[in-house]
Amino acid sequence: MVLESVLGTAIGLVMGLTGAGGGILAVPALVVALGVDMVTAAPVALIAVGLSAMLGAIDGLRRGWVRYKAAMLMSVVGGLLSPLGAAIARLLPVGLLMIIFGCVMLVVAFRSYQKATCSADSENCENANKACMLSPSTGRFIWNRRSALTLAGIGAVSGLFTGMLGVGGGFIIVPALQRFSNVSMHGIVATSLMVIGLISAVTVSQAVSLGLQWPTHLTWFVVFALVGMFAGRAVSPHLPARTLQMAFAIVCVGVAFIILAKGFGVL
């Protein structure tokens, strides 16, 4: 119970602070620390991540941070691609799946590090070329073909990885929205949490329909993930975004090497 509680709290805290990382860290935590097999770990992680994300999204809606139209578009497209990702996962050997997971985490860590170290001037120069821009007068997305296709593409990729790797998709959504939009970090995190919650619900429903066997000892993992989310959402406005991004990059690198070692049979 103690280990499950500590790990669940840590997962919820990371997701509450960054809008990403919950799923990508939950699966390794379940597999490496708790000895859960990869097939069981994926849906359990999504349940913990999905419930936590919905709580965070509700908080974001209350504060007016969620770009709900964009979130709905990404969720619908992601939900359609999630079953395809799950089907691909069933065809791949567990070792290969873990190697893919580790490589994806290294890419995410590198992108997070880049974002944390880039200068304010370079960020401002990029704004003019971004596909998804907020209107200065209304504060809402300027919808056109380019912005709609970009958001749909983000949803498609996140949904595919959600189904294939059992992650919430935030590790794709957050960097992508930073790259392709001028939404504030608070808005990106809140919008990401809403998408994670909705896509996770679709993927979990599929796992339940296929006969998911719930390990009762992991209930505490889910409960304390919710506790961690509450704590993360309370603390996040008081921490610099760059500090959070750098810490997330470091954590991702460490976990990626553990997962790669297990995938190659070293651990």
Phi first, then psi, for residue 132 (nearest 5°) are -115, 95
Q: Check if the beta carbon of residue 115 is closer than 8 Å to that of residue 126.
A: no
Phi first, then psi, for residue 64 (nearest 5°) are 80, 25
Domain count, the chain: 1
Q: Check if the beta carbon of residue 200 is closer than 8 Å to that of residue 81.
A: no
| Domain around 154 | 2-263
Render each residue's pLDDT in the chain as its tens digit; 267 residues. 788 899 999 989 988 888 876 767 787 788 878 888 877 777 788 788 888 888 888 988 888 889 999 999 999 998 888 889 888 888 888 788 888 888 888 988 888 788 778 755 555 545 557 889 988 888 788 999 999 999 999 999 888 887 777 666 787 888 889 889 988 888 888 899 998 888 777 767 776 776 766 777 788 898 999 999 989 888 887 888 788 778 778 878 887 887 788 788 876
Smallest Cα–Cα separation from 181: which of 51, 60, 69, 25?
A: 69
pTM: 0.78
